[in-house]
Amino acid sequence: MTNEATGFGPIAAEYAALGLPVFQLEIQGKKAAVMKWQETATTDPAVALKLWEGETNRLFNIGVKMGGGIVAIDLDKPKADGEPDGEDSLMEYAAQHGGEIPPTWTFQTGRGGKQLLFRTDAPIGNFVGILPNVDVRGNGGYSMFPPSIHPNGNPYIWLESQNPSAMPDGPADLPAFLLELLTAKPDTGAPFELPDKIPSGERNSTLFKMASSLRAQAYTEPEILATLTAVNAGRCDPPLPDKELETICGSVGKYERGSGSKRVQKVQELEVQSARELQEEQLPPIKWVVVEMIPQGLALLASPPKYGKSWWVLDLCLSVSTGDRFMNHGTEKTECLYLALEDSKNRLQDRINRLTYHAPAPYGFRYAILSENLDNGLITQLEQYITKFPKTGLIVIDTLQKVKGEIKNRESAYSDDYRQMGQLKQFADQYSICILVVHHLKKGKGDGDVFERISGTNGIFGSVDTAIVMQKASRTEKETTLYITGRDVVADDMVIEFNPDLCRWECKGSVDEVEERRLALEYENDPVVQTVKKLLTDSETLTWSGTASELFKLCIEVTGKPPDKSPDSLGRKIKTTAKMLYLRDQILYYPPGKNGGAYGRKHTFQKWR
């Protein structure tokens, strides 16, 4: 087992092969770098390699989930003067109880302490200060393994003769005296007889029994500590350090007051950090499938039926697997899986040939037309697939309805949607990939937020990282608006149009860009604009003035078409066009004055010199 730290992926895979569930910790840190690390932890070497794949990911520290037969005893170095060394505390306790520490898997921590790994089937929990500077990591806890880097910059290192390579049969069994310590129950509250003198070698066990008795009699921790302090000073020879008394109180404090057997449920503290620490933390960058459009995580594409969603996602897969641009955005080349669950092989073959012009499709693009649903093994199928093809970065499921399972008894529709989508999101997060699910919109045009029209409950929309909706003003319209929103994307809706000759959706630009081009075209084709520009070009003074009736007739002469319904309505139209005349052609407009005014009832246009 190597201690090298050039890349942690192969080492994490070795641990996984030994049956140790591994997951990512922060780079040069102790905190989990992934949410739900208990579920992310894997014993699959191929999955472990993928988790640590990439220039940034390879530097993540290695976390190993404890429990399930393995427990870690953490022997820390003193953090302040007068504190005992964790290793000394353990050895003293072993000597007092006639036990010994057998050789076992052991590594040195970044602070110079040690972690000892033992094998046990007992349900060992997590303890802080079970002995002075001795902590325990069991069920629900984790340990940081070599060659991870401590926040102080020092690596964790296996001891030369006490590592998995040197001890291939695994760690030693947890010694009986430690098992008793970690599973001990306080006294039932029966009167405790305290000896007059407590010699060295009996101090810890005697005071622990006394503290347990007091706890069973409903004493608080401060009351127990005060009593122990007095007994320690008057009867222990020599007295124990105050730190050890605090440790004993902390141990019995894990039990409810007035109960001899019921432990207080241990609730893990919130993992908090300052905003300044977050600013300085080295985090991996967001992985994009389509840059600034579709990131890793769970994504959803929805539209009314028969809109061409399948053409869109098929083109997406082909573009991503070759690294070509898609919807005017760059892509990060990666392998893809397309679950075309509503297609036949014939239809899929025909569509791929049309999109590739019968050129060979990329090797990294694979498909399936049948799969299990989420209740009957889809996640297992995807795990098997990604183990076989670990370079996969995009999975498209077309459609969601084909993989949804049955709603469970007494489960609301919202809970059902959120639970089933949550399985896909958890899988995407665990493997740092994108899963894009194709879905439908509710019937009817609807008003307001287009994302509220996604079929099903808000549990579907609420569970995804990115949502994309295709919608037209009417089904006969050619232009379609592609609405995009998400946790990591900036909403930048775009206008797309299906090109039947190329069998491909084409991006016409953002909604704002397309609207700007539409207004510009309307402006240039406006009879009033064309006529006014010609009149000013022909004028030596670059000025023209006339009534609405005169301008109406001139528009027909210059453009061959009337500018509006009548001269009366033309006056109102001129007012709406005036701003664009100035912004685009620097033409000033002076409306008729009240009651005639200086210009009478004439409209005046002047080219800005």
Which architecture, in CATH terms, is 525-607? Orthogonal Bundle (1.10)
pLDDT digits (tens, 9 = 90+) for 34-47: 777 888 899 999 99
Question: 126 vs 369, which has greater pLDDT?
Answer: 369
Does position 3 have pLDDT exceeding 60, yes or no? no
Beta strands 106-108 and 114-119 are antiparallel
pLDDT digits (tens, 9 = 90+) for 190-199: 556 677 788 8
d(CA 536, CA 603): 13
Instruction: Please tell me the predicted confidence (pLDDT) of residue 483.
Output: 93
pLDDT band at 596 (very low <50, low <70, confident <90, very high): low
Instruction: Please tell me the predicted confidence (pLDDT) of residue 268.
Output: 62
* Fold that domain 9-183 belongs to in CATH: Prim-pol fold (3.30.2250)
d(CA 88, CA 133): 9
Q: Measuring CA to CA, how many Å separate 533 from each of 384, 525, 553, 558?
A: 69, 12, 15, 11
Burial 335-363, CB ≥16 within 10 A → b, else e: bbbbbbbebeeeebeebbeebeeeeebbe
Does position 597 have pLDDT exceeding 60, yes or no? no
d(CA 23, CA 598): 82
* Fold that domain 288-511 belongs to in CATH: Rossmann fold (3.40.50)
Does position 153 have pLDDT exceeding 50, yes or no? yes
Which residue, chain included where needed, has tokens 């509503």? 342
Instruction: Please tell me the predicted confidence (pLDDT) of residue 598.
Output: 45
Model pTM above 0.75: no
d(CA 401, CA 421): 11
Instruction: Please tell me the predicted confidence (pLDDT) of residue 82.
Output: 64
Query: Which of 196-210, 276-290, 583-597: highest mean pLDDT?
Result: 276-290
Instruction: Please tell me the predicted confidence (pLDDT) of residue 227.
Output: 82
- Mention every residue, 6+ apart, whose C-beta is less than 8 A from residue 7: 52, 58, 59
pLDDT band at 216 (very low <50, low <70, confident <90, very high): confident
Instruction: Please tell me the predicted confidence (pLDDT) of residue 516.
Output: 84
Average pLDDT, the chain: 86
Delimit the domains of the chain by residue range. 9-183, 198-252, 288-511, 525-607
Instruction: Please tell me the predicted confidence (pLDDT) of residue 190.
Output: 52
The number of angstroms, rounded, from the C-alpha of 96 to the middle of its chain's C-alpha atoms is 49
pLDDT digits (tens, 9 = 90+) for 54-113: 777 788 999 999 988 899 999 998 876 667 788 988 888 888 877 789 999 999 999 999
Residues 229-243, mean pLDDT to the nearest whole number: 86
Does position 515 have pLDDT exceeding 70, yes or no? yes
Does position 259 have pLDDT exceeding 60, yes or no? no
Nearest to 23 by CA among 296, 125, 146, 12: 12
Instruction: Please tell me the predicted confidence (pLDDT) of residue 261.
Output: 46
pLDDT digits (tens, 9 = 90+) for 373-428: 998 889 999 999 998 999 999 999 999 999 998 887 777 888 888 889 999 999 99
Instruction: Please tell me the predicted confidence (pLDDT) of residue 446.
Output: 61
Instruction: Please tell me the predicted confidence (pLDDT) of residue 246.
Output: 85
Does position 269 have pLDDT exceeding 80, yes or no? no
d(CA 169, CA 370): 43
- Strands, E, within 281-345: which ranges? 288-290, 294-295, 297-303, 335-340
Does position 6 have pLDDT exceeding 70, yes or no? no
Does position 204 have pLDDT exceeding 60, yes or no? yes
Q: Enter the tokens of residue 16.
A: 């996984």
How many percent of the chain have pLDDT more than 90?
A: 44
User: Which pairs from 112-115 meet CB under 8 Å and 24+ separation?
Assistant: 112/77, 112/154, 113/74, 113/75, 113/76, 113/77, 113/86, 113/87, 114/74, 114/75, 114/86, 114/87, 114/159, 115/72, 115/73, 115/74, 115/75, 115/143
d(CA 348, CA 352): 6
Does position 512 have pLDDT exceeding 90, yes or no? no
d(CA 275, CA 242): 36
Question: 308 vs 196, which has greater pLDDT?
Answer: 308
d(CA 468, CA 299): 8
Instruction: Please tell me the predicted confidence (pLDDT) of residue 192.
Output: 62
How many percent of the chain have pLDDT more than 70?
A: 92
